[in-house]
Amino acid sequence: MKIFPAIDLRGGKVVRLFQGDYDKMTVYGDDPISVARGFQEKGASCLHVVDLDGAKDGVLVNDSIIREIATQVGMFVEVGGGIRDMARVESYLNAGVSRVIIGTSAVTDPDFLEAAVKKYGDKIAVGVDAKDGYVAINGWKEVTDIESFSFCKKLYDMGVSTVIYTDIAKDGGLGGTNIEAYAKLKEIKGLSVTASGGISSVEEIKTLSSLVDAAILGKALYDGKLDLAEAVKAGEGAEKI
């Protein structure tokens, strides 16, 4: 299982939100490149980057920073947040981003998602953010009537190879992740699942390693509750991306 430390960007700064609430934001640094390199030095080979401005408002104020991370830091970099057309997908991939995450548009514009998957295959992932079992979109501000697990199965059936599944209620709370959800997602044979939201212990990582292919770590790293080097070691053993 691969470990993806997370860098969430807002206004060029490294931040974390509590349960997706933009009014409950903590700033952890103003040098994302330095943060990324610090993660790399601790043994991480993968990086999860989210453009929160893009996710919320569609404003690409962090574009140059993301490009700099992709070109200057030698890691597998996946990027999400505000990716709603093919031009943005192509721009990121051409800039050296390894994988692009489509979130809101997977719900609102399935034709775009299908075209992206057809053209770029496993370089496209879908972020499925769930609140009480239903898919949330537009920076988690709007909860749809789409059941999250059936949506993941639908995505797999249309050719999506990787889903990043976040239980919003767990995100940023340091109270543990939704193990039951990942056990259920494991039933979708062939779908690669990345766990996200609330992961806060090495024991949890070991449990997840039998259920998912990757895990995203955020607040637990920034608050010092989880050591990245130990997390990477605990997650080792899965096939490389």
Active site amino acids? 8, 129
CA angle, 230 then 234 then 240, to 5°: 115
CA 42 to CA 106: how far, in whole Å?
A: 34
**The tokens of 98 are what?**
């390894």
**The tokens of 66 are what?**
């993301």
Strand residue runs (E) in 11-141:
13-18, 21-29, 46-51, 76-80, 99-102, 124-131, 134-137
Q: In this structure, how many other beta carbons lie within 10 angstroms of the beta carbon of residue 236?
A: 12
Nearest CA-CA partner of 216 in 86, 78, 61:
78
Instruction: Look at residue 125 and give its three-state secondary structure.
Output: strand
% helix, strand, coil for the chain, step of 5: 40, 30, 30
Nearest CA-CA partner of 147 in 160, 131, 135:
135
Tokens 């079992």, residue located: 133
Going by C-beta distance under 8 Å and a sequence separation of 6 or more, which residues neighbour residue 150?
none
Q: In this structure, how many other beta carbons lie within 10 angstroms of the beta carbon of residue 229?
A: 12
